[in-house]
Amino acid sequence: MFSWLGKQGGGRERGGGTDVVQTVTGGLRDLYLRKLLPLEEHYRFHEFHSPALEEADFENKPMVLLVGQYSTGKTTFIRYLLEQDFPGMRIGPEPTTDSFIAVMYGETEGNVPGNALVVDPKKPFRKLGRFGNAFLNRFMCSQLPNEVLKSISIIDSPGILSGEKQRISRGYDFCQVLQWFAERVDRIILLFDAHKLDISDEFSEAIKSFRGQDDKIRVVLNKADQVDTQQLMRVYGALMWSLGKVIDTPEVLRVYIGSFWAHPLRNTDNRRLFEAEAQDLFKDIQSLPQKAAVRKLNDLIKRARLAKVHAYIISYLKKEMPSVFGKENKKKELINKLPEIYIQLQREHHISAGDFPEVKKMQEQLENCDFTKFHSLKPKLIEAVDNMLANKIASLMNLIRQEESNMPTDMVHGGAFDGTMAGPFGHGYGEGAKEGADEEEWVVAKDKPAYDEIFYTLSPINGKISGISAKKEMVTSKLPNSVLGKIWKLADCDGDGMLDDEEFALAKHLIKIKLDGYELPGTLPSHLVPPSHRKPFQTAE
C-alpha cells in the first residue's frame, strides 16, 4: 500500500514513535523530490520564498525557537529546561546573547561556529549561508550530552532591542532569519517579562515575520512571581492588548504565566497557578516528538499550496508580457496591478486568498526580475502536486494514525521535565482526589464528625439514608445535577441506592474537592474507599 514511501525509513532509536517518524520522513522526502521540487524549480520558487528542502530538513529532531526582547529570560529558560549550563551561555540583565545559538545534542560539549555549521550536511542549517558572514559570525551550535536534547533542539535568539540603530547595525536581515527558522521549527515561544511589556518596533516586525505560522506560536509571561495577584491581572491584560495590535488573528494566543528559573518564588500567592501553567507548557513541549511527523506533513502541505499559487502568478505574468515592444512598461503595469491579478487568479482557479504571498513583498521581488524569462503554465506539474495533496498525503496521514496507535508515546525526558512527572513534587500530588493517597488513615476521617452531624439530621433508617434525603443535602452545594450524579455514583460503593454514614461522608468529601476547583476521579481511588467497604469493593473490582 505504501510502496511509494521509499526505503529510507529503517533504523530504530530511543522512543517507540521514532519508527513512525522515520517511515513518514522517507515518504515526505520522496514526495517532495518527485512531485513538488520540479514545480518549485520550474517557477523559481526558491528565489522568491524559501530555499529547497534538504535531507536534514526531513531528518532533524523537533526544534523550539525562543524569541523575546533582551533580559526576558530566554537563555535562563533553556538553562531551566536542561538543568545544566551549555557552551556559549551568558546570562545577565544587559543584552548578553548577541547570537543565534542552536543548542543540540552531542556526545561531547563544545561549540561549532556558523561557517562550519552551514556546510555540515547532517545539520538542517545549510541554507542559512545565504545570509552572509555578518550572520554566520553571529551563529553557532552549542552541543552537549543532555537527555532533553536527545528529543528536541532549542534555538536561542539575540535579545531584541528598540531603536533603528540596532536594526541597521546587525549587518543582516534579522526578520528574514527569524522567518527562515519559523518555517522549520515545531514551536515558537515568545517570552515577555512582567516588567517589560512594551513591544519595540523590531520585536513587532519579528512577530509579523511569523505570518502563516500562527499554530506554532506560544507566549510565556516570565518573571510573574515578581508582581502580586492584582498587578498580575493588569500585566496579563496589558500583554493581551499589546499582542492584539501586532498579531493579526481573531484567535487568542495561549499565554503561559510563571517564573521559569530554579530560584525561590518572590511572591508565593500564585504558586498553584504557576505550577499548573508550567505543567501545561511542559506537556506542550513534551508532545513535540510525537507530533513531529504531523508537523512536517503540515508544513509540506503549506509549502505545496504556496508553490502552486506562485506557479499561477509567474505563468500569468509570462502570458501577459508582449513578445517584442513595450516590455518594461508592461512589467511596471503588471506589478502595479498585482492585487487585481491575485483576485482574478483566486476566481479562475478557486484558490483561497490566504494562500497568496504578501502583495507588497511580492511586488518588491518582481522589480528585479526579467518577466520574459519566466515559464508558461505546465499543467502536468500542477497535476502532480494536486495528486500529491489529494491522494499521497491522505494515505501518509492514515499511516501516521495507524502506526502511532500501535506505538508507545515518544516524549521528551530529562532535565526539568522529569521533576514534574512523579513523586511528591509532581503537579497535583497530594491535592484534590489524590490527597491522602500515601496515608494509612482514611483521609475523610478528619472531617467525618462534622459530616455525621448532618447525616443524623436526615433521619437515617437502619443506619442508611435514601437517595431523596441525600439529594436534599447534596443540592445545597449548588453543583450541577450532572456533577452530583457522578459524586453519587462514586460514593454509593455497594450500589444499593442508599448511603451509610461513611458513604455520605465520602460524598461530602467529593463535593468539597469539586468546590475547591479540582476534578473528580473517573473511578474511586482505593485510598478514598470507606474502611467498612474496602474488602467487598476491592473484590468486586
For every residue of 231-286, DSSP letters joined together read HHHHHHHHHHHHHHHHS--SSPPPEEES--SSS--S--TTHHHHHHHHHHHHHHHH
502/500 Cα distance (integer angstroms):
6
Buried b (16+ CB within 10 A) or exposed e, 214-236: eebbbbbbbbbbbbeeeebeebb
346/343 Cα distance (integer angstroms):
5
Q: Is 488 found in the same domain as 455?
A: yes
Residue 381 lies in a domain: yes
Kindly give, in sequence order, each residue whose CB lies less than 8 Å from that of residue 437, ignoring residues fewer than 6 positions away: 430, 525, 527
- Listed in order, strand segments (DSSP E) in 360-513 are 464-466, 498-500
Amino acid 339: pLDDT:
94
Is 451 in contact with 465 (CB distance < 8 Å)? no
Residue 19 lies in a domain: no
Kindly give, in sequence order, each residue whose CB lies less than 8 Å from that of residue 454, ignoring residues fewer than 6 positions away: 473, 504, 508
User: Among 148, 158, 204, which Cα is nearest to 181's?
Assistant: 158
Residue 227 lies in a domain: yes
Tens digit of pLDDT at every position of the chain (541 positions):
333 333 333 333 444 444 545 566 778 888 899 999 999 999 999 999 988 888 888 888 899 999 988 878 888 899 989 988 888 887 665 555 578 999 999 999 999 999 999 999 889 998 899 899 999 999 999 999 999 999 999 999 988 875 554 555 678 888 889 999 998 999 999 999 888 777 888 888 888 888 888 889 999 999 998 888 899 999 999 888 888 888 877 677 889 999 888 778 888 888 888 888 988 999 999 989 888 888 888 889 999 999 999 999 999 999 999 887 888 899 999 999 999 999 999 999 999 988 999 999 899 999 989 998 999 999 999 999 999 988 888 888 887 777 666 655 667 888 878 765 555 555 566 688 888 888 889 999 999 999 999 999 999 999 999 999 999 999 999 999 999 999 999 999 999 999 999 999 999 999 999 998 888 998 999 999 999 988 744 444 4
401/289 Cα distance (integer angstroms):
15
Which of 252, 287, 322 is at the close of a domain? 287
Q: Is 70 found in the same domain as 215?
A: yes
Q: Is 184 found in the same domain as 129?
A: yes
Q: For the domain that residue 367 is a member of, what is the CATH number?
A: 1.10.268.20
Residue 422 lies in a domain: no
Amino acid 540: pLDDT:
44
Is 65 in contact with 124 (CB distance < 8 Å)? no
Q: Is 271 found in the same domain as 305?
A: no
What domain count does the chain have? 3
pLDDT in tens, 4-21: 333 333 333 444 444 545
Residue 467 lies in a domain: yes
Other CB atoms within 10 Å distance of the CB of residue 268: 10
Measured in residues, the chain has a length of 541
Which of 287, 310, 329 is at the close of a domain? 287
Q: Is 239 found in the same domain as 323?
A: no
pLDDT in tens, 197-228: 778 888 888 888 888 888 899 999 999 988 88
Checking DSSP bridges between strand 100-105 and strand 139-144, what pairing results, if any?
Answer: parallel
Amino acid 311: pLDDT:
95
345/333 Cα distance (integer angstroms):
17
Q: Is 281 found in the same domain as 298?
A: no
- Listed in order, strand segments (DSSP E) in 382-488 are 464-466
How much helix, strand and coil, in percent to the nearest 5, is found in the chain? 55, 10, 35
Residue 58 lies in a domain: no
Q: What global pTM score does this model have?
A: 0.74
Is 91 in contact with 68 (CB distance < 8 Å)? no
460/464 Cα distance (integer angstroms):
5
Q: Is 321 found in the same domain as 237?
A: no
Q: Is 109 found in the same domain as 190?
A: yes
Q: For the domain that residue 199 is a member of, what is the CATH number?
A: 3.40.50.300
Distance, C-alpha 338 to centroid of its chain: 35
Residue 47 lies in a domain: yes
Q: Is 311 found in the same domain as 279?
A: no
57/122 Cα distance (integer angstroms):
9
**525562543: which residue's cell?**
66
Amino acid 425: pLDDT:
54
Residue 238 lies in a domain: yes
Amino acid (one-letter) located at 50: S
Rg of the Cα atoms in the chain:
29
Amino acid 28: pLDDT:
84
pLDDT in tens, 298-347: 889 999 999 999 999 999 999 999 887 888 899 999 999 999 999 999 99
- Domain range spanning residue 230? 63-287
Other CB atoms within 10 Å distance of the CB of residue 104: 22
Q: How far apart are the first and last CA of the chain?
A: 43
Amino acid 403: pLDDT:
65
Q: Is 282 found in the same domain as 260?
A: yes
Amino acid 22: pLDDT:
55
Alpha helices (H) along 321-375: 327-336, 338-349, 359-366
Kindly give, in sequence order, each residue whose CB lies less than 8 Å from that of residue 21, ignoring residues fewer than 6 positions away: 289, 292, 293, 410
267/295 Cα distance (integer angstroms):
38
Measured over all CA atoms, what is the biggest interatomic distance in the chain, rounded to whole angstroms?
A: 106
Alpha helices (H) along 415-466: 415-418, 448-456
> Would residue 290 be called left, alpha or beta, if left means φ above 0 and alpha means ψ between -120 and 50 degrees?
alpha
Please state the three-class secondary structure of 370-406 as a single string: CHHHCCCCCHHHHHHHHHHHHHHHHHHHHHHHHHHHH
Which of 406, 424, 441 is at the close of a domain? 406
Q: Is 44 found in the same domain as 181?
A: no
Q: Is 261 found in the same domain as 333?
A: no
Q: For the domain that residue 455 is a member of, what is the CATH number?
A: 1.10.238.10
- Give just the sign of the alpha carbon dihedral 490, 420, 73, 411: negative
Kindly give, in sequence order, each residue whose CB lies less than 8 Å from that of residue 123, ignoring residues fewer than 6 positions away: 56, 60, 102, 104, 117, 141
**527562515: which residue's cell?**
180
